[in-house]
Amino acid sequence: MVDAFNEDEHVNKKKLETAKLIRDSGQLLTATEISATNRYWHVWSSDTHNNTYPKEYAQPVVGMLYDTMASFQTWFSSWPVVSMGIQLIPLTPVAETRDDIEWATQVYPKYEKACKIAGDFCIDNGWSILQAGLLATSAANKTGGSSDTTDTHSAALKQALSIPKEVFATDGGVGNSMSNTIWYIATRKKATTN
Residue 174 φ/ψ, nearest 5 degrees? 45, 40
- Three-state DSSP state, 33: helix
Same domain, 114 and 135: yes
178 and 89, same structural domain? yes
Q: How does residue 139 score in pLDDT terms, banded at 50, 70 and 90?
A: low
pLDDT band (50, 70, 90) for residue 170: confident
Largest CA distance in the chain: 63
Cα 149 from chain centre:
19
Judge if 14 and 74 occupy the same domain.
Answer: no
- What is the reported pLDDT for 40? 92
61 lies in the same domain as 31: no
pLDDT of 44: 86
d(CA 134, CA 115): 12
On whether both 13 and 57 belong to a single domain, the answer is no
Asked, for residue 61, whether it belongs to a domain, the answer is yes
194 domain residue, yes or no:
no
In a domain, 192, yes or no: no
Is 179 inside any structural domain? yes
Domain count, the chain: 2
CB 174 within 8 A of CB 89: yes
Higher pLDDT, 149 or 138: 138
Q: What range does the domain containing 72 cover?
A: 53-186
- Same structural domain for residues 33 and 60? no
Q: Has residue 79 been placed in a domain?
A: yes
Between CA 79 and CA 122 the distance in angstroms is: 9
Q: What is the mean pLDDT of residues 39-48?
A: 85
CA atoms within 13 A on the CB side of 136: 25
Share of the chain above pLDDT 70, in %: 85
Residue 10 shares a structural domain with residue 60:
no
Q: Are residues 177 and 137 in the same domain?
A: yes
Note whether 92 and 169 are same-domain residues: yes
Mean of the per-residue pLDDT values of the chain: 85
Do 117 and 154 share a domain, yes or no?
A: yes
At 61, is the secondary structure helix, strand, or coil? Answer: strand
Whether residue 114 contacts residue 73, with contact meaning beta carbons closer than 8 Å, is answered with: no
105 contact partners, CB below 8 Å, separation of at least 6: 138, 141, 142
Q: Is residue 72 part of a domain?
A: yes
Q: Are residues 24 and 83 in the same domain?
A: no
Beta bridge partners of 74: 77
Cα–Cα dist 103/43, whole Å: 8
Res. 113: pLDDT tops 90 = yes
6 pLDDT tier (thresholds 50, 70, 90): low
Residue 82 resides in a domain = yes
Same domain, 128 and 172: yes
Mean pLDDT (whole number) for 130-141 = 82
In a domain, 144, yes or no: yes
